[in-house]
Amino acid sequence: MDKVFGIDISSYQAGMNLANAKNEGVRFAILRAGFTGYGTGVSKNKDSQFEKFYNQCKSLGIGVGAYWYSCANSYDKGKSEAEYMYNNCLKGKQFEYPIYIDVEDSHWQRPSGRNAITEAIKGFCEYLESKGYYVGIYANSNWFSNYINQGAVERYDKWIANWGTSKPTTPTGGMWQFGGETNRIRTNKVAGITCDQDYAYKDYPSIIKNAGLNGYSKGDEQPTQQPSRKSNEEIANEVISGTWGNGDDRKNRLTNAGYDYNTIQAIVNQKLGVSNQPSNKKYYTIQKGDTLWGIAKKFYGNGSRYQEIAKANNIANPNVISVGQKIIIP
C-alpha cells in the first residue's frame, strides 16, 4: 500500500479542529491516552483531551490509535502503565491503529539502561497483548539503536521518530514520525496547529480488524468505502475562498488530500481570469466593474498594493483601466 498521512496529538493540541485536519488529508490520529509523571516516575495521568479527540475521530471517520508516555524502567512498572491505560482509556473502545508505549524519558528510563528499558517495554506490551491489542513501540532512531534490545522486542510494531528527509530503514518500522515543530517534509501545522506528523506504511485497519484485535471481533473488516470526494471544481472554489491557504502551504495541503495541485490551480486561474502563460508572470483580464484596488485585494488580500500593479503595467492613472485589458500581476 501507499503511505497514509496522519498525526499524533495530545492536550498540547487541545484547540485542533479535526474536521479541518481531515480536509487537509489526515486519515488517522494517534492519541496520547496518558502519561506517567516525571516527579515520582510512577504517578499515572489520563490525557485531558483523549476522550474528546477519540469521539471526534470516530464521528469523522478518522482512524484512531493511542500511546502512553512511559517512565517505566522495569517489567512490573511497564505492566502497571499498561493496566492503567487499559482500564481507564482503552476498555470498551475500538482502535484501527496500534497501541504504543512511548519510550524517550531521560529522567527515569535512560539512566536505567538498555536492559531495564527493554523489560519495561515487554511488561507493557505483553499485558496489552493478553487483552487483545495490537501493540508497538515508539522511539527515535537513536533510542532504537542504543537503548532497546531489539531482538527481545522484535515482534512488536515499530513507530520511528526521525525528523529527516527520508524514511529511516533501521529498524524497519510500520510508521514514521517525519516531523513536528521541525518539519522538512511539509508545513509543521495541521489545521493551523503545530503537531507531530506521521506516515503509516501498513494497512493497519485491515490487519487489526481481520485479526479481531483492539476491540474488534474477528472478520469485522468490511470492503473499504472511499470517502466522498469533492470535484476539482468544488476544490477550486474553496481555494478562491481561502480555505486551502496560499503558496507552498496550499500546494502541500492539496497534495496531501490527494488532489493534483496544477490541475486545481489551472481551474482557479481560469475562474479568476488569470492566463497560464509559459513564464513566472501571472496575467489577469480586466472585467466589468474591476478596479486596481479590487484586483490587488483579490490577489494580495490588500487593496493598497494596487500601486504595484499600476507600476508593473505602466498605468499612469490607476483610475483609468479598460474592460478586456490584460495586465500583469507582479
202-223 core/surface letters (b: 16 or more CB in 10 A; e: else): bbbbebbbeeebbbbeeeebee
Q: How far apart are CA 42 and CA 147, in angstroms?
A: 20
pTM as predicted = 0.68
Q: Which residues are within 8 A (CB) of 154 and not within 5 positions of it... i.e. 6 or more apart?
A: none
Q: How confident is the model at residue 274 (pLDDT cuts 50, 70, 90)?
A: low
For residue 224, pLDDT over 50 is answered with no
Note the helical H segments in 1-101. 18-23, 50-60, 75-85
E strand map for the chain = 4-9, 28-36, 44-46, 63-69, 99-102, 135-140, 157-161, 175-179, 189-190, 193-194, 196-200, 274-275, 282-285, 326-329
Q: How confident is the model at residue 279 (pLDDT cuts 50, 70, 90)?
A: very low
For residue 205, pLDDT over 50 is answered with yes
| Mean pLDDT, the chain, whole residue set | 88
173 contacts 159 by C-beta, under 8 angstroms: yes
pLDDT at 233: 84
129 contacts 150 by C-beta, under 8 angstroms: no
Per-residue pLDDT reduced to its tens digit, 78-125: 999 999 999 999 999 999 999 999 999 989 999 999 999 999 999 999
Place of cell 489526515: 26
For residue 175, pLDDT over 50 is answered with yes
pLDDT at 232: 83
pLDDT at 223: 44
Q: Tell me whether the omega of the peptide bond preceding residue 168 falls within 30 degrees of 0, making it cis.
A: no
User: Percentage of the chain surpassing pLDDT 70?
Assistant: 94
For residue 265, pLDDT over 70 is answered with yes
